[in-house]
Structures are given as C-alpha cells and as structure tokens.
C-alpha cells in the first residue's frame, strides 16, 4: 500500500512567501539568470506556450502583478500579501496538498517573484526589503496550535540576492 503524503496549505504558505521573495532576489541580483529561468519555465509549463517569449507565456501573471503593483504603490513597505492576499485567507488554511501539488505551487510563487523583479525592479526591491527587515515572528500554522518562525535567515537585500545566486548556480549544476 502506498501512502500519500500531504501537507496543509497553512504549512506551505511560509515557504510560498519565501519562494516569492527568492524570485525577486534572483531577478534583482541577475536579470540574465531570471530571464533564463523564466524562459525555461515557459517552455516546460504548457505545450501551447512553447516557442513563445516568457512574457507571452505568463501574460496572465504579468497582467495580475501589474494591476496589484499599481494598487500597492503607496507606502514604503510592500509584502507578499499586497499581491496575494487570497492565499493567506483562513478558508485556504485547511486545504491539503500532495507533494507534487506543493512543488507546483511553490514554483509558481518563484515565477511570480521573478516576473515582479524583472519587470518592476523597484517594487521587487521594496518587497525584498520589507521581507528581510521585518521583525522576527512566529506564525500559527492553523493546525493543532503549531507555530513556525517565518523570519528570513538573511540580514540584507544583498545577502538575499547572493543566496539566490548560489541557489541558481546549484540549479545549473555548477
């Protein structure tokens, strides 16, 4: 008998936020690396998108981020929730995800972060700055009273960009 491994969305959400910020960091640290990842993601995402530029393949995400950016343009701090408030809503916290669904969803957040950082670098920098400079905090996972420290293990935007670059190099197999 094969057991299906699942995770609550509440447990995956802190990682989704970090994945979004990782995408922003890679885009800010290396535009060419971000373009390469986006190009490869567009090629593998959907057969009908193959051969199209990533901006075309991910046009819905581009349009969504542009609209959300315009709505959140005031103030110094910009967060993941300014772009994606719905996934943080309580009604999603008890959704169960398989391992594959977690991988797909987390990769979607990296893609969104990359797109934001490439097309709107000032906003990507603000998201990243807000993320790395926020107060250390623990969030409830919504399951059995469990809490997780969601503070980034980074001290600065520069360190986030360097970490994203090292992850990118590992992804390339260097």
Global pTM reads 0.83
Q: Domain spans of the chain?
A: 6-172
pLDDT, tens digit, 9 for 90 and up, residues 35-71? 999 998 888 655 665 567 899 889 999 999 999 888 8
End-to-end distance of the chain based on CA atoms, in angstroms? 39
Dihedral class, residue 125 (left if φ above 0, else alpha if ψ from -120 to 50, else beta): alpha
Other C-beta atoms closer than 10 Å to the C-beta of 41 total 19
pLDDT, tens digit, 9 for 90 and up, residues 79-100? 888 888 887 777 777 788 888 8
């Amino acid at each position: 008998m094969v057991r299906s491994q699942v995770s609550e969305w509440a447990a995956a959400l802190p990682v989704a936020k970090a994945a979004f910020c990782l995408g922003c960091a890679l885009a800010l640290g290396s535009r060419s690396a971000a373009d390469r990842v986006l190009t490869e993601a567009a090629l593998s995402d959907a057969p009908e998108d193959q051969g199209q530029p990533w901006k075309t393949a991910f046009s819905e995400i581009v349009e969504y981020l542009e609209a959300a950016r315009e709505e959140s343009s005031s103030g110094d701090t910009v967060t993941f929730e300014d772009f994606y408030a719905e996934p943080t809503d309580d009604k999603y916290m008890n959704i169960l995800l398989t391992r594959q669904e977690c991988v797909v969803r987390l990769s979607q957040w990296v893609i969104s972060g990359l797109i934001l950082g490439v097309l709107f670098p000032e906003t990507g920098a603000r998201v990243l700055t807000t993320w790395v400079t926020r107060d250390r905090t623990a969030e409830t996972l919504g399951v059995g009273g469990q809490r997780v420290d969601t503070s980034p293990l980074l001290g600065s935007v520069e360190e986030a960009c360097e970490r994203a670059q090292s992850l990118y190099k590992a992804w390339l197999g260097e």
